Structures are given as structure tokens and as C-alpha cells.
Amino acid sequence: MNPVYDFKGKVALVTGASSGMGLATARAFAEAGAAVALVDINADKLSAATEELTKLGHTAIGIVCDVADELQAEAAVERTVAEFGRLDMVYNNAGILGPMCEMSDETVDAYDQTQEVNLRGVWTFMKHELRQMKKQGSGAIVNCSSLGGLVGLPGRAAYHASKHGVIGLTKSAALDVAALGIRVNAICPGCIDTPMSDGIDPEATKIFLKDQPIGRAGRPEEVAAAVLWLCSPGANLIVGVALPVDGAFVAH
């Protein structure tokens, strides 16, 4: 059973919010009483996700955005604040798998796209989220890294480079603002059952899961639970961590 949070009067923003871990987290924030800004590049899926929450009586808006574009990121944060008056909690989740091949076979275009979405997309949003939170003197940000930010795996060089970078951004930003009432952390999901995982060869997934000791893929709701805890007062002393949410993959 997950803890029950009271986020009434709080405002949350989630990128990559139209499906998977992002949508599960947007739902969880909304169910806890927060107003939620859902951000995604896929307009159709974003509209459906936002409508799902509003039909249930939650307060939510959808913002179409390419997270790699700083001007769009700035506008998304500004719209959230204009709509709801503040910004309290963030899950910077948007990401792509990128190329799955040996590093020597990667193309520069595929590599650059992976970094633009997975790494620069966190930087663009966090930059403007932090500006708002500094004005308020409060806030909590959770960035989505990966177990790929903690270890290396063959055929995943571009992806793992981006996710290692997210942890570096997280730790440095956390130190910038730790004394200002703002907490920045990262989570490192393992193999999670999401639409993104559909792009991975099923046989490769079976091999991967052999190293995830709980013996199954994680669920998006389990990732959302970790994000909400890190944004809650219960995690007030947790700053600058990269928390594995991986069924013990990196424990061995």
C-alpha cells in the first residue's frame, strides 16, 4: 500500500506525461490533490491524458512541448505558473531510447537526438523550474535518470551517456539550491513495463530481467510512488540523490 499524500493547493509539472511513468505520476499527483501540468510532444496522446484527468474531476492542463527547445520549456513553465500561480513539484521524465547498437555503429544524428531529449531536455526545464522555485523559496524536483545512469550495458552507449549526465546535472543543481528550500533528486528506474519498453527486443528484455532480482518488470505506478515520496515532506532531508527504483538490479 502506498502512502497517502495531501497535495491540495500544490502544483505539479510532469514532462513526458502522455504515457508510461509520466502519465502514472501525473495521475498520482492529481489523485493526491495537486493541480497538474502535463507536458509532452505528442499532442494527441497528451490531449487524451489530460482529458482523462479532468473528466475525473482533477485540475489539469496539457502543454505541447519539445523539451529540447529551451524557449518552449520556458514557455511551458511560465504557462503553468500563469495558470496555477506557483510550481511546487516536478517530475522531469521525458526521454527516448535512442540507438541500440554498438557504439562504433552509432550515427552522430541518433546520438545527438538522444542527448537533446534525455539530457538537454532535463536541463532546459530544470533551469526555468528553478528560477520559479527560487522566487518562491520552495520546491522539489525529481529528474528521471535510469539504472543506465549508474551502470553500463553493451549496445546502449548513447542512452547511458545521457542518463549519467542527468545524475551529474541533478547533483550539481541540488548543491546550488539546497540552502534555498529547494530539493533536487533523481530516480533511476530499472526495467519498467511502459510503451518505451515495447521498443526493446523481447529476448533482450528476458535476459535483462534475469539481472533484476525481483524477477519481474516494474510498474509505472511503482515509479510514481517513488517520485511522490521524494516530493513529499517525508523526504525533506533527501537532497542530491540518485535513487534506484529497479528491483535490486544495481545491488549486485
Cell of 117: 531529449
Q: How far apart are the first and last CA of the chain?
A: 27
Q: Concatenated DSSP letters for the chain?
A: -PPP---TT-EEEEESTTSHHHHHHHHHHHHTT-EEEEEES-HHHHHHHHHHHHHTT--EEEEE--TT-HHHHHHHHHHHHHHHS---EEEE--------S-GGG--HHHHHHHHIIIIIHHHHHHHHHHHHHHHHT-EEEEEE--GGGTS--TT-HHHHHHHHHHHHHHHHHHHHHGGGTEEEEEEEE-SB-SGGGGGS-HHHHHHHHTTSTTSS-B-HHHHHHHHHHHHSGGGTT--S-EEEESTTGGG-
Cell of 235: 523526504
Catalytic option among 5, 91, 111, 159 = 159
Tell me if residue 159 is catalytic: yes
Q: Which residues are catalytic?
A: 159
